[in-house]
Structure 1
Amino acid sequence: MTHYDLVINGAGMAGAVLALGLAGLRRPDGGRLNIALIEAASPGPDLHPGFDARSIALAWHSQTLLQQLDIWPALAPLATPITHIQVSDQGHFGRVEMSAEEYGVPALGQVIELHPTGRELHRRLAACEHITLYCPDRIIRFEQQLQQVNVELASGAAFSAGLLVAADGNRSLIGERLGMPRRRLDYGQSAIIANIATAEPHRGRAFERFTPEGPLALLPMSEGRSSLVWCVSPGRAEALMAMSEAAFLAALQRQFGYRLGKLERTGERHCYPLVLDEALRPWQHRVVLLGNAAHLLHPIAGQGFNLGLRDVATLTEHLARALTAGQDLGSHAVLSGYGRARLPDQAGMVGLTTALALLFSNDHPVLAAGRNLGLSAMAACSPLKSQLAWRAMGKR
């Protein structure tokens, strides 16, 4: 039976970045890790659900992590910098504005489009001789043993590994079969995702606007477009999805205003239900859950992938130290060390995004007054605003 150092189930953003990051590690003898990467979707990012028309906002710190993993140079040409952020509350006076120049950084973050990003990541995966890609294929059986994990695929391939990483999304097959306890919370919202063309150029500006229905964000993209994330009730989402392009843009204009002039066109609209779904202890004997398999967040503040990327970076760091020390990569010592290192950040970000989603998704007079006083205080107090800005940039 073929033996790999580790197996990664899922070649979306988290799984692909982890595989490429680990492929750069060396053992003390100079050898490389042997990595198996399993993906159920058909070959090529065009059909991969993780690399659709959506965009993600990379925090400034996330860009640094991708640079350390030697992945950012390939993605930089695909990114649009965020140089200015405006946070406002519809119908109220509270507003905060932040600029990259104010904090001495080239950009507060970067927006990358998943479709071209997936194409570039998969090109690099295919070119890496230390990564064996099983695609399209899926795990039908796995067994945790004392010294290894045995894996069997639908294609009939079978192999063993020292560590199994589940990067297969919030409905992780591996997490479900292991019965790992999870906490779930239905936010009672859906997110409408679309690309928007505006009369005025965005000039690197990002907007987060809170409405009684839920938060609405527009992020700068390539070709002058903006990426929309509009959170509304499921019933309202159904009505918006059924509208003509003109009616949809008119409804969006009423909520967003004319900060970018007239909203002129929209691309294909997608709709996703919003839930919190987190594994309470995302590791077990020779198995670790990563990215959305470990924690699916509300998109408010755009922190989901940034949190998953910090998982990837920390796991890579712990596995690199284990290699240097001659430790078993899937041992309890290595995985529990990784888990302890990540739990405070994971718990803090889950708590923060959930609190923001609940606070800024209603029009209760007391809550509205409180959050607007908070936004006004941040605008007037540089230390408070700096804390918000650096938190948004990923500095903990």
Structure 2
Amino acid sequence: MNQEPRSLHPDERSTATDVVIVGGGMVGGVLAQALSRDGWDVTVIEQRAPERSTSFDQRLTAVADAGWQYMDTLGLVDRSLRESAGAIREVRVFDRGHFGLTRITARSAGIEALGYVMPNRELGERIEALLDAPVTGQGVIHYRRPARYVSHESDESGIDVRIADGHERLETIRARLMVAADGAESPVREQAGMSVRRREYDQVATVATAMPARPHGGVAFECFTTGGPLAVLPAADGRVSLVWVARRGEARRIATLDDVAFARAVDETFGHRLGGFSAPSTRAQYPLALVTAEQAVADRLVVMGNAAHALHPVAGQGFNLCLRDIRDLTRVLRPDPDEAVDPGDPQRLARYRGLRMADYRRTIGLTDSLVRGFSLDLPGLGHVRGATLSMFDGLLPMKNRLVRATRGIA
């Protein structure tokens, strides 16, 4: 599916490919695998060298059932990733200090698990192994790192992507489509002049793992407080993943706690539901904001991942939304037998944009509404929220919609 490069400046190297992906993290890596399985030649541009890569850090990510199954079809769920992931058998949502509880179980949905809590590092190792050694008979993946995006220019027949390698030697890659998966502060998006909407939440997420005193039993908890939600998710080896969202001032206090005091504070906030915590890992903190691109598509350009939508972690929807981006883009670009397809065809990219808009509105609206609704601290509002959770738990049509959202089914 490759095309010949056009004439370029004589002091630069030039190559050609079908799709250039800027960003070799979780989103860019999964997309490269998906596109190559459909026969596209893909070039992945990753700025960080292997020994300095932070794309696959020590955090854990909750992947909904539908997203996990999709990753499995792409060959990403190998034995190592499967064994290092914790299955979510049940989800319990409650408001701290008030009655009311919503429960969702895998058994009632007739499935093995609602999702899985996986280590980013394990997925990263699998992605990098596939990028370094693509399967014979599929499209070729060229994994370029360290290399950084410099600029791009598109025309009717393709897009020229200018990059610099680790020695600052310039190269121009001629492609027919570029995908920006280069994070919330995307340089590609900025150069393309694609504006974003940004809403600061005045909240910070503290992320760690810990060992609960009682077995978690595959239960994921979402505990809402006026400062922000505390998620306690089942991980492998009996541990839990902690995502504690608090207002900035409280987050600064949390950062000063030693391990024993931190574990005690989590247990107190959580209502002692697992009997306490011990052996917390190193903590990391991340300021939270809602960042959404005004448009996800431009001339021969698709913006994806955090470059298109950086969400609050309240409902664990960020990476799952990205997986649906990947699924829909590959579907739109997939050619019929014996059909010549231009992956940068404006009509196909318009179809992709149309497919994604409803999912964006629904998912972003859900997370933003949860953050604002459960963060209000007004007299009597906690009782209203508790009553709402109890009512929601008993309304089957609404609960079925929540089950589908939890499973990542758009």
> Which TM-score band (shorter chain)?
over 0.9
Is the aligned partner of 1:263 residue 2:294? no
**Superposition misfits of 4+ residues, deviation over 6 angstroms:** none
Q: Which moved more, 1:277-286 or 1:379-388?
A: 379-388
1:151 and 2:161 correspond: yes
State the number of aligned residues.
388
Cα distance in structure 2, aligned partners of 1:361 and 1:347: 21
Contact 2:151 2:191 in 1 (8 A): no
Paired residues of 1:187 and 1:275 also in contact (CA < 8 A): yes
Q: What amino acid sits opposite 2:21 in the alignment?
A: I
Which residue type is aligned with residue 17 of structure 1?
Answer: V
**329, 340, 347: which one aligns with 1:315:** 329
Listed as ranges, the gaps of 5+ residues in structure 1 are 26-31
Cα distance in structure 2, aligned partners of 1:292 and 1:324? 35
Equivalent residue for 2:85, pick from 79, 87, 94: 79
CA 1:163/1:322 → structure 2, altered by over 3 Å: closer, same or farther?
A: farther
Residue 136 of structure 1 aligns with an amino acid whose one-letter code is P
Structure 2 partner of 1:138: 148
Counterpart contact for 1:175–1:289, Cα < 8 Å: yes
Identify the residue that residue 173 of structure 1 maps to in structure 2.
187
Opposite residue 102 of structure 1, the aligned amino acid is: S
Give the aligned residue type for 2:112: P
Q: 1:5 aligns with which of 11, 14, 18?
A: 18
Give matches, 1:1-396, under 5 Å.
1-25=14-38, 32-43=39-50, 47-73=52-78, 75-128=81-134, 130-155=140-165, 156-321=170-335, 325-396=339-410
Would the aligned equivalents of 1:11 and 1:167 in 2 still touch at CA under 8 Å? yes
C-alpha deviation, 1:188, in angstroms: 1.0
Instruction: Give the AA of the match of 1:13.
Output: M
Distance in 1 of aligned mates of 2:268 and 2:128? 40
Point out the more displaced range, 247-256 or 314-323. Answer: 314-323
Contact kept? 1:197, 1:263, Cα under 8 Å: yes
The alpha-carbon deviation at position 335 of structure 1 amounts to 0.8
Letter in 1 for 2:105: S
Distance 2:338 2:398 in 1: 42
Sequence identity percentage: 37
> Over aligned residues, Cα RMSD in angstroms?
1.6
| Conservation of the 8 A alpha-carbon contact between 2:93 and 2:223 | yes
Judge which range, 385-394 or 55-64, deviates more.
Answer: 385-394
- Contact 1:8 1:167 survives alignment (8 Å): yes
In structure 2, stretches of 5+ residues that fail to align are: 1-13
TM-score, with structure 2 as normaliser: 0.91
Deviation, 1:141, is 2.0
Secondary structure of 1:325's partner?
coil
Aligned residues of 2:264 and 2:276 also touching (Cα < 8 A): no
- SS of 2:210's equivalent in the other structure is strand
Deviating more after overlay: 105-114 vs 362-371: 362-371
Q: 1:64: how far off?
A: 2.4
Q: TM-score, normalised by structure 1?
A: 0.94
Residue aligned with 1:53, SS: coil
1:73 Cα deviation from its structure 2 partner:
4.1
* Change over 3 Å in CA distance of 1:271–1:324 after alignment to 2: farther
- CA separation of 1:332 and 1:257: change in aligned 2, threshold 3 A: same
